[in-house]
Amino acid sequence: MTLKIGIDVGGTFTDFVVTRDDAEPAIFKTLSTPSDPSIAVVNGLTDIAASMNPPQTLEAFAPGIDTIVHGTTVTTNATLTGTGAKCGLLTTEGVRDALEMRRGIREEQYNNRYTNVKPLVPRYLRAGIKGRLDRGGRETRPLDLDEVKQAIALFKQEGVQAVSICFMNSFANPVHEQTAAELVRREMPDAYLSVSTDLLPSIRFYERVSTTALNSYVGPKLNHYLDQLVGRLKGIGFKGLLLIMQSNGGVITPQLAREKAALTLLSGPAGGPGAGLFYVRPHGQNKCITTDMGGTSFEASVAVDAPMIKNDGEIARHKIALPMLDIHTIGAGGGSIGWLDEGGLLRMGPQSAGADPGPACYSKGGTLPATTDANVVLGYLDPGFFAGGKMQLDVAAARQAIEEHIAKPMGLSIEEAAAGMYRVACNNMAQGVREVTIKRGFDPREFPFIPAGGAGPIHSCLICQELEIPLQIVPRESSVLCAFGMLMSELKHDFVRTFVARFESIDWPQLTTIIDEMASEGARQLVEERIPEARRRYDVKLDCRYIKQYHEVSFLVPRELIAQRDTTAIARAFHAEHNRLYGYSLEQENTPIEIINVRVQAIGVTDKPAYREEAWADADAAHALKGKRSVYIPETKAFSEIPVYDGHAMRFGNRVDGPAMIEQETTAIFVSASFDCAVDSLGSFVLFQKGREDLCRSGFSPTAAKEPSMVSG
Amino acid sequence: MSAKIDPILLSVYARTFKSITDEMSISMEQTTRSPILCEAKDYVTGLYDGDGNMLEQTENLPILAFSLAPVCKYIKEYFGDEIYPGDVIFHNDVFSLGNQNNDVAAFKPVFLDDKLVAWTAVKGHQADIGGNVAGGYNPNAVEVWQEALRIPPVKVVERGKLRKDVWNLIFANVRLDIVQHDMKAEMGACTVGERRLLELLKKYGVDSYESHKQALFDATRKMMEAEISKIPNGNYSGEGYVYFDGRHVGSKFTIRVDIEVQDRHIKFDYSRTDAQTNGFVNGTFTSSASATILTLLQMVNPDIPHNEGMVQPIEIVIPVGTILNAAYPKATTFGNHLCPPNADAIQRALAPVMPDRVTAGWNNLLASLTTGIDPGNNEKYVDIGFMGLKGGSGGMLGTDGYDHIGMIDASGGVLDQDYEMFEQQTPHTLIKHELLPDSAGAGEWRGGLGVETIFEIGSDDTQLVTFGDGDFEPAFGLFGGGEGGLNFIRLNYPDGQTVVPKNKDLITGVPKGTVYHQVASGGGGYGNPKKRDRKLLREEVRNGVISKEAAMRDYGMTEADLK
C-alpha cells in the first residue's frame, strides 16, 4: 500500500489530501498556524492518524507515510509583507540602482500618492564593483577583487544575512560572478548566497538582478522553515520522501529548494492547474481553466496538455524571471467587501475582510458587507452547515451589513442588494478569467471550467454564463484542489541559457552542446533524487522573435529537429505559435527570426496516486435529496424553493437538474437554472449547459457519449 | 430608448467596457513591432458610442488620450450617412483635431442590426509618417508638409474590403515597412474591441445599452463635479515657460492659464498665452487639452471612470494662433512636449487653493535619439534613449516625488531599455545609469530624484537628435520647497572636444569612442525642508541619495542629527 499526503498551507486553513491504493482520497482541513506553519502540519497529521480504521497514534502512523508533497506560502508571505532577510548586493559599477528603479515604472499613472516599492536591498548595501564584460562576454576590464573584499567587509559589519551577485553581461560569461562568489563563500560562510548565473543565466539585466535579489531575500526564511518542518517530521518518525511544490508546477527536494528559494514563490497555488487536467480527461478533454476562490483572492489559470508557463512574472511589484505557472490573481474572494463609489456605482473588493474579522456573518467583529454575507442572504450557504457545521453563520448580521452599506443608499431591498453584490463579484471574476485566456490567445468558451476553493462552485454558473462556457467540472476534492494537485506533480528542473543567433546562421554544434550541458545538469539532479533513467525526460524550448521585435515567443522544439538542423520545421512551429498568440505571423513576408534563449526542462516522472474509477450507479439521485431551501435564482431574479442534495451520497451517473443545491462538508455547489448536473466516473460533479449532455462524456451510460464540441452555436 | 436603469447592470457595463479597452491594449502591446509601441506603450485604446462620446479608454500614454473622442465626432460628421459596417478609417491630421502627426489613429464603426451603435479606436505613435526627417522630429520645420504626410479621415477599408489604392498611397509616403504592420495591429485591436462589445450588446440589447451608458455618463459627471466643488470658487492664474523654438537661439515663450472655478464647473482659458512660434514648437488644440485634462486628473480621485461624463464639467479655451493651438499650416511636432510647462502653469495657479492636491514642478523632458551603423553586424540601429530621459516628479503634501519617473505626460508609463538588450541592439557600452544624488528639490516632501546616464558611443558617423527642455529652468518648488536641478546632454569626443547640443538639435558625424553624458534631473520639493523627518534623512544620507553637505545645508541637519 502506498500512502501519500499532499499538504497545502493557506492563510486560514491548512489543507490535506490523503491517497492510498485501497481507498478513496480523504480530505482534511486544520487551522493554519502562521507563526510556525509546521505546527499545523503536525496537527493535521495527528487528525489523519486518528481517523484511520482503527485509529492510530501519530507515532504509529507517520513511519508508514511514503511521500509528503508540501506547498508553502513562507516565501510568498515574506515578500508580500516585506519581512525577508537583510541582504547585500554585488553588482557592476554604474548600475547599482537598477533594482530600485525598476525600469522607471509607476503602475498607477494618475495617482501622485502612489509610491515606489521598498527595494529588496537598501542602496548602501548595493556595491557597484569595477570589472566589465562586453555584450559577447569578453572581459574588457578585470574584476576588482579589492572592491569585492571591501564590500564583503561592509556586509559583515552590517550583519547581512544573504548576499546576491549579479554582473552586467554575465549571462554570456559567468567568470566574474564565480570569482566573487568564491570570495563571499570564504569570507561569509554562513551567509545565504545567490549567484545570478546559477539561478538564471539569461539576458535582461533588471529581470536577472531582481530574481537574484528575491532569492536571497526569501532564502534564509525558507531554510529556517524547512529546518522546523524537517525536524518536526523526523520527530514524529516520518521516514518517507518529502517534496516541495515549486512555482512551475513541479516538485523538488528540500535541498534544492533551500538553494533556489525563489522557485517556491508561487508554491501554494501551483498544484491547482495540473490537478484540473486530471479531472477533464474522462470527458475527452486535454485542456481546462482552473480557478480557485479563496477569502481574499481569486486565481485563474489555463492548461492545454500542461499548465501554461510564463517567464516574466511579478511578485509584490518585483520582477521574477524564473519559469512559473501563469496564474492570474485578482482581489475577489469570500471576504471581498462591497462598497459604493462616489458616483454611486456598486463595487466589490479588492479590499477584503479576510478571515479575521471576516464577513459580518462570521460574528468576529466584521461589520462591512462581504461576498459571503451576500451568499448567506441569497440562500447559497446554509448558515447551519458552513464548514460542515463547524461554524454557525449569523444571517441577521449579514442582512444588517448589506442593508446599511448597500441596500439603503441604493434604494434597493436587502435581497436585491445581495443579488447585486453576487452579480458584480461574479462579473469581476469573469473578467479575471478573460485576461488569462485572451492574453494567451485562447477562447474561454472552448475550455471546461474547474471551480475550486470552498466558495468557487457557488459562483461558477454565473461566471460561466458571462463567459458562455458550457461545461464545468467540480471535483470532489475541489475545496483542497491544490493539495491534491501536488500529489500529481512531477519533479521539474528548469534551465536556461542565452544564445543569440539568427535562424540562417545558427552555430549548430554550439547549440547542441548548450542543450546537452543543461540536460546533463538536469540528469545529475534527477539521479540525486533517485529517478531511474526510464522516468527522465527533457523538454527543449526556444525563445524566438521576429527580428526587431521586443517580446519573445517560447515554444517546444523536438530534439530531433535540432539534431537534423531542420530550421524550416522549427520556423514553422514558431510562425504557428506566434499566429495562435497574436492572430498573425510574418511567414509570408519572410521576416528573419532570431533565437534569444534556449531552455531545457528536466522532468522526473513520479508515482501518481492510484485513482479508481467508480462503477456506474444510476441516474436517479433521489436517495441523496436532503430537503428544500429558498435560494435566489439569477435567471428569474427571484427566490425559489429548490431541492438540496447531499453531495457525499451522490454516485457515478446520478443526475440533478438545475436549479438545485448540492452540499458537501467543505463545498456547496449551486446549479443554476441554466445548467444540469451529473456525477462522472471520478465522482466529479459535471455541470453542463441545459441540453448539452454531449459535453459530459462520462456521466451517462456509456452509449450516450458522442464527439463533444465546446463552442455552442 | 428609455429602458429602466438597473443599478447593478450599470456596474457590469462599466467594468466590461474597461475590460474591453484593456484587452485591446494587450493586443497592441503584443503585436506591434516598433519599440515605441511595444516597449514604451505610446498608444491609447478606446470605446466610443455611436455619436463619438467616450465610453472608456486605456491610456498608456495620457497625452494622446483626449483627442480620440473629438476626432470620432469629426469623422462621423465628415462621412455623414456613408459609414458602413466593416469600414476602417485612418486619421492623423492635426488641423482636424489630431494631436501629433506621428500619432495615427484607426477607427472602426460598430453596427448592430444595421444601426451604428459605437466605435472602437486605437491611436499609436508610428515610427515614421513621411515628411523631411525620419521619425518626424524635424527642428527646422515651419510648415506641416515638412513634418509629415497629412491624413484627414480616410477609409482604408470599406464594407470589409481593403482599398488597396488608398492603402498604397499612404504607405508609399512612409519610410518604414513596420509602420504598415503596426497599423494592421491597430486595426486588429479595433476588431478585438468590436467583437467584445457586440457580445455585450447582443446580451442586453441596444435599448439597455443606450440608457445605461447615459446613466454611466451622469454618474461619472457627478463624481467629477463633486471633485471640482471641493475647489473654492474663484479665478486663478499661473504661468509656465518654454525655452527655444528650435530655430531662434535665446527665444522664450510663456503659457498663461486663467482658471475659473464656478461651483461644479471648471474653465481653463489660455487666451493670454504667447503667440505661436515660427518653428515646430507649437501645440495643437487636442494635445494641449489632453495636457490640461491629465494634469487635472492627477489632482482628483483616481478612481473616476474615464468616459464622456468625466470631461463634461471641464471647459478649455485655447485661441487659434497661440503656441498651444497653432494656426494652419504651422509645424507642430513638438506639441505633445508642451505638456510639462502647461502642467507647471496649472499647478502654480491652483497651489494656493488646492495645497493638498497639487505637486511641485516635475522634471521637464530632455530626450535624444541616436542612429548609426553597428560595426558588429553592419546593420542600422535606431535608439530612443528612454533610460536617459526619466527625471523625478514633484513632491506633494504627504508624499515625496517619484524617483526616475519621467515627464508628466507619461507619468511612469514609459519604461527604460533593459541595459543588456541596449548593448545587444546598439554598439554602445553603458557606463552609468544611476539615481543622481542631490538632484531632487529639498522639502518636507522632497522631489523625486533624477538620473545620470553615461555611455560610450560604439559607431562612427553617429547621428544624434535632441528634443526637449529643462536645461534653462529647473523644476520649481512649492511652499518653501527647493528647486530640482537642470537637465543636460553633453558629448565628450575622443579628441577632447566637448559638444553641448541645443535642447532641440541635430548633430551628425559623432565619432566612435565619444562619451555621451546626460542628466535628467529631479523634481521640485514641497514644504519647508527643515521639517523633513530626521530618521528618513539619516537613511537617505546613509544611502547616498542626499549628501551629508546637502543634508546640513538644505535640511538643517546637524552633525549630531546625522549620527
Segment A254-313, tens digit of pLDDT: 999 999 999 999 888 899 998 999 999 888 899 999 999 988 789 999 999 889 888 888
In this structure, are strands A162-166 and A87-92 parallel, antiparallel, or unpaired?
parallel
- What percent of chain B is modeled with pLDDT above 90? 82
According to DSSP, the residues that pair with A313 across neighbouring strands are A320
Question: Which residues have C-beta within 8 Å of that of residue A254, sequence separation ≥ 6?
Answer: A226, A230, A242, A243, A244
Cβ pair B222:A100 closer than 8 A: no
CA distance B418 to B415: 9
Instruction: Please tell me if residue A423 touches chain B, with a CB cutoff of 8 Å.
Output: yes
Task: Using alpha carbons, select from B501, B422, B409 the residue that is nearest to residue B455.
Answer: B422
Q: Is A439 on the interface with B (CB under 8 A)?
A: yes
Q: Are A8 and A68 in contact (CB under 8 A)?
A: no
In whole angstroms, give the CA distance from residue A438 to residue A459. 21
- Cβ distance B412 to A122 less than 8 Å, yes or no, reads no
Nearest to A343 among B15, B222, B421 (CB): B222
pLDDT reported for residue B375: 96
Distance CA A175, CA B251 (A): 54
Q: How far is CA A151 from the centre of its chain?
A: 38
The answer to whether the CB atoms of B12 and A423 lie below 8 A apart is yes
Residue B558 identity (one-letter amino acid): T
pLDDT of residue A701: 55
Which of B183, B290, B404, B449 is best to mutate for the A interface (most A CBs within 10 A)? B404
Q: How far apart are CA A398 and CA A368, in angstroms?
A: 9
Inter-residue contact A232 to A247 (CB < 8 Å): no
Chain B partners of A196 at a C-beta cutoff of 8 Å?
none
ipTM of the complex: 0.93
Q: Do B59 and A109 touch (CB under 8 A)?
A: yes
The region that residue A539 occupies, defined by phi over 0 for left and psi between -120 and 50 for alpha, beta otherwise, is beta
CB atoms within 10 A of CB B322: 23
pLDDT tens profile B22-31: 989 988 887 7
Instruction: List Cβ neighbours of A300 (8 Å cut-off, separation of 6 or more).
Output: A289, A290, A291, A292, A327, A328, A330, A429, A432, A433, A435, A436
Q: Which residues have a Cβ under 8 Å from the Cβ of A606 and sit 6 or more positions away?
A: A243, A251, A489, A490, A491
**A467 contacts in chain B (CB < 8 Å):** none
What's the confidence (pLDDT) of residue B3?
Answer: 65
If you measure CA to CA, which chain B residue comes closest to A429? B15
B71: helix, strand or coil: helix
Dihedral angle at the C-alpha atoms of A220, A225, A228, A231, nearest 10 degrees?
-80
Instruction: Verify whether the Cβ–Cβ distance B33 to A546 is below 8 Å.
Output: yes
Q: What is the mean pLDDT of residues B330-352?
A: 96
> For testing the chain A interface, which of B30, B197, B539 should be mutated: the one with the most A CBs within 10 Å?
B30
Grid coordinates belonging to B429: 557600452
Cell of B104: 495615427
Provide the Cα torsion B90, B95, B100, B102; round to 10°. Answer: 40
Helix (H, G, I), strand (E, B) or coil at A411: coil
Q: Among candidates A496, A510, A511, which has minimal Cα distance to A570? A: A511
Nearest CB partner across the interface for A109, out of B62, B430, B433: B62
Across the beta sheet with A192-195, the strand order is A126-129, A87-92, A162-166, A192-195
| B416 close to B387: Cβ distance less than 8 angstroms | yes
Are A457 and A486 within 8 A, CB to CB?
Answer: no
Q: What is the pLDDT of residues B392-444, one digit of tens each?
A: 999 999 999 999 999 998 888 888 889 999 999 899 999 999 999 999 999 99
Identify the band that residue B107 occupies on the pLDDT scale cut at 50, 70 and 90.
very high
DSSP, collapsed to helix, strand or coil, labels residue A394 as coil
Q: Which amino acid is at A116?
A: N
Rounded to the nearest integer, the mean pLDDT of chain A is 91
3-state SS class at A496: strand
In B11-114, at which residue ranges do the beta strands (DSSP E only) sit? 43-49, 54-59, 88-91, 103-112
A195 vs A212: CA distance, rounded Å: 7
SS3 A670: strand
From chain A, the residues in CB contact with B390 under 8 A are 104
Residue B62 CA to its chain's centroid (Å): 5
Tens of pLDDT, residue by residue over B220-269, are 999 999 999 999 999 999 999 999 999 999 999 999 999 999 999 999 99
Residue pair B147/B280 in contact (Cβ under 8 Å)? The answer is yes
Cβ pair A502, A547 in contact under 8 A? yes
**A329-338, B147-156, B168-177, B200-209 — most confident range:** B147-156
Q: Residues 123-182, chain A: which have Cβ within 8 Å of B?
A: 123-124, 132, 134-135, 140, 168-169, 171
Parts of chain A with a pLDDT under 70: 1, 355, 439, 582-584, 610-611, 699-713
pLDDT in the model for residue A471? 96
CA distances from A148 to A86, A88, B543 (A): 18, 12, 18
Partner-chain contact B411 A341, CB within 8 Å: no
Model pLDDT, residue A704:
45
